Structure 1
Amino acid sequence: MLPRRLAISAFFFLSPAFAVADPVGTYDVVGINPDNGGEYTGMVEVTRNGTTYSVVWTIAGTESYGVGLGGKQAGKTSSQAASPDDDTIAIGYGNDDGFGISQYDLQPDGSWKGNWAYAGGELSTETWTRQGAIRSLTAPGTKGASEAMKPMGNTISRP
């Protein structure tokens, strides 16, 4: 009987339908550059900072900073104080090129997928996967990753 219980426990633990909501963590990032349609990769770290989230992207060697608001989907409040129960996060960010906004939703596999745009720019996509399991967003036959691409949220210095 014990092996069956372990198997059932492992199923629920490993099942993507039971993804942990809390956005806090370090992620591998894959996104699409709206300027040329190429793929970029990097890393993002999300920490809870009181009632908000602090977000730091590192893409092509450049760090970018943002502040995020958490929320719940499915008819509940759209924004709230940062909480481990959040399954959506909206982030504003600024840099030498201006400012932008992004929004991410928890996916059944535990990744976070969303959209972002610079002010006056085109909408693009980005996926965060907990460190170690990066996935490609580029469709077969399209442009591949390039270090010369404009990183999301170019540069900003923290006081």
Structure 2
Amino acid sequence: MLRFALAATILAGALPAAAQRAGAYAVEGRGADGTTYVGAVNLQPTGPQTWRVTWRVGGETARGVGLTMRNTLVVGYVLSNEVGVASYEVQPDGRLVGRWTQGLGGAVGSEVWLPR
């Protein structure tokens, strides 16, 4: 029984969260300066725990790669020649709720992805 519990624990850390899915999401966000924005994001699997991520917000496109661990998705991306990073918690209803930073300024924004 102990072996089964240990194996289940190891596998739980290796598999992406069940509520997370590939496909299209609507994006609602707030920049570090408080301005709000809306857009779209596409999440495409590239491996068991890895993703290609493409945002379209305000006429701009950001592209990145993501990694899932348990119920967290972490994404590194490039937008307007600046590097950024974001971290999202996968919610039971399929939403992803997170925070992001971009460039060297250190400001932090927030974002919610809503499954379409």
Please indicate, yes or no, whether the TM-score normalized by the shorter chain is above 0.5: yes
The one-letter code sitting in structure 1 at the alignment partner of 2:36 is: E
Count, aligned residues? 98
- For residues 73-100 of structure 1, the C-alpha deviation after alignment (integer angstroms, 9 at most, x for no partner) is xxxxxxxxxxxxxx22100011334101
**Could you tell me whether the CA contact under 8 Å between 2:21 and 2:94 is conserved in 1?**
no
Separation (CA, whole Å) in 2 of partners of 1:39 and 1:95: 17
Secondary structure of the residue aligned to 1:30 is strand
Q: Which residue, out of 20, 36, 43, partners 1:39?
A: 36
Separation (CA, whole Å) in 1 of partners of 2:29 and 2:20: 21
The ranges of structure 1 where at least 4 consecutive aligned residues each deviate by more than 4 angstroms after the TM superposition are none
- For residues 126-151 of structure 1, the C-alpha deviation after alignment (integer angstroms, 9 at most, x for no partner) is 000012xxxxxxxxxxxxxxxxxxxx
1:20 positional shift: 4.5
Q: Does 1:29 align with 2:1?
A: no
Name 1:129's counterpart in structure 2. Answer: 114
Q: Does 1:49 align with 2:33?
A: no
Q: Which runs of 5+ in 1 are unaligned?
A: 1-18, 73-86, 132-159
Separation (CA, whole Å) in 2 of partners of 1:50 and 1:102: 19
Separation (CA, whole Å) in 1 of partners of 2:101 and 2:81: 12
Separation (CA, whole Å) in 1 of partners of 2:93 and 2:46: 26
% identical equivalent positions: 34
Higher RCO, 1 or 2 (CA under 8 Å, sep at least 6)?
1
Name 2:90's counterpart in structure 1. Answer: 106
Separation (CA, whole Å) in 2 of partners of 1:39 and 1:127: 11
The one-letter code sitting in structure 2 at the alignment partner of 1:54 is: R
Instruction: Normalising by structure 1, report the TM-score.
Output: 0.57
Based on CA coordinates, which of the two structures has the bigger radius of gyration?
1
Instruction: Normalising by structure 2, report the TM-score.
Output: 0.76
1:101 positional shift: 0.3
Separation (CA, whole Å) in 2 of partners of 1:127 and 1:101: 15
Separation (CA, whole Å) in 1 of partners of 2:88 and 2:77: 14
Superposition RMSD on alpha carbons, in Å? 1.7
The one-letter code sitting in structure 1 at the alignment partner of 2:113 is: W
The one-letter code sitting in structure 2 at the alignment partner of 1:50 is: G
Separation (CA, whole Å) in 2 of partners of 1:65 and 1:119: 15
Q: 1:32 to 1:24 in 2, by over 3 A?
A: same
